[in-house]
Amino acid sequence: MKPVKIIIHALGGVLILSVVFFLFSFAYTSLETISAQNIQSRLTDVQNKAKEKKKDYEEWMNFEKNYKKFKDNYLMKSEQFDQFKHELQTILRKNGVEFAPLKYSIETIFSDVVKISVRFELSGAYENIKRFIHEMENKKEMILFKKIELNKKRTGQTVEGEFVMEVYFVR
């Protein structure tokens, strides 16, 4: 073989080897980059989950304080029960609604929280009953209507109804 052909074959071989090496290097660095991005995204996910867990932990650590704040803001004191009964009757009268005697049943929810169910029947104009419901629902304290059944009387514009309310008190 002539020396020129040997040199051309050698240079061609070196060229092929360098292209193969370049492709291998490019593939390797691409895989490294993809792997690094994948690891970075997983690290970010883990950091976000850690922040969420920390927030949950802090909420649990403040649970007693939040529970006390909830009781202070939304539950009536048990000493206010007589005042609540009087206020309920006053609101019923103020809205022009006739009502039967109120019936109460007491249930202990937690050691310091009591649920009192108030059952009563009333009659009056629909607008007056609606105003009564609205006024009770806008109270800051936790007063829930569990059952409202309204029936229109056969004569006149009077509506009769049965109400069951739940009121929560703290001891």
Which pLDDT belongs to residue 14? 85
Are 95 and 107 spatial neighbours (Cβ–Cβ below 8 Å)? Answer: no
Q: How far is C-alpha 3 from the geometric centre of its chain's CA atoms?
A: 84
**Predicted local distance difference test score (pLDDT) of residue 1:** 65
The one-digit pLDDT tens for each residue of the chain (171 residues) are 688 888 888 888 888 888 888 888 888 887 788 877 888 888 888 899 999 998 888 888 888 888 888 887 778 887 788 888 888 888 888 888 888 888 988 888 888 888 888 898 988 888 888 898 888 888 877 778 888 888 877 667 788 889 898 888 888
Q: Could you tell me the CA-to-CA distances from 95 to 126, 133, 143, 159, 168 in Å, in that order?
A: 11, 10, 18, 14, 23
